[in-house]
Structure 1
Amino acid sequence: MQKVTIYVDHVDDASDFDFMQEWLKKWEGVVRVTDYSTGGWEHIWDLEGPEEAISEIPKDWHCSSKWATPEIFKK
């Protein structure tokens, strides 16, 4: 299982957010959402799932976070 943090926004275009909504439906029960936050137009998910599922999400949506890349945040 892979851990990943995903960031998308939909200020001018909701297609990335819509993709994630469909992706979450497709992988429901397989992928675990451990956290979700939104500022309205910005959306961040902490996810855990198999490589097959995670590989469908564009790499440029992946973010560093305490969840996905804890080694970066260690003192």
Structure 2
Amino acid sequence: MSDRLKVSLYVDHVDDSSDFDKVNDWLARWGDKVTVKSYSTGGWEHCWDLLAPAEAVAELPAEWLCDSEWATPELFEAKLQ
């Protein structure tokens, strides 16, 4: 599906799990329209690499979006040169 965007999300739940819970609710709501390409956790930190429709991405708080080799490879390639 070329109409999907590559995005990376980062949330933590050091004090509470509300952001983590909201991401999981968002993933459940969008179902098979969102593909989780990668998920990692360090316990309190959670990172997802996703393919998602633009309208789904538009629902996400900007502070959850992050740069990554998945979502913004051009930033990482520039550092290698």
* TM-score, normalized by the shorter chain, greater than 0.5: yes
Alignment of 1:4-43 (within 5 A): 4-43=7-46
Give the helix-richer structure, 1 or 2: 2
Q: Which runs of 4+ in 1 moved over 2 A?
A: none
Match of 1:48 in 2: 51
Report how many aligned residue pairs link the two structures. 75
Gaps in structure 1 of 5+ consecutive residues: none
Radius of gyration: which is bigger? 2
Give distance in 2, aligned partners of 1:59 and 1:48: 16
Secondary structure of 2:25's match? helix
Instruction: Specify every segment of 5 or more residues in structure 2 that has no aligned partner in the other structure, as ranges.
Output: none
Q: Structure 2 length as normaliser, TM-score?
A: 0.89
Corresponding position of 2:65 = 62
- Aligned CA-pair RMSD: 0.7
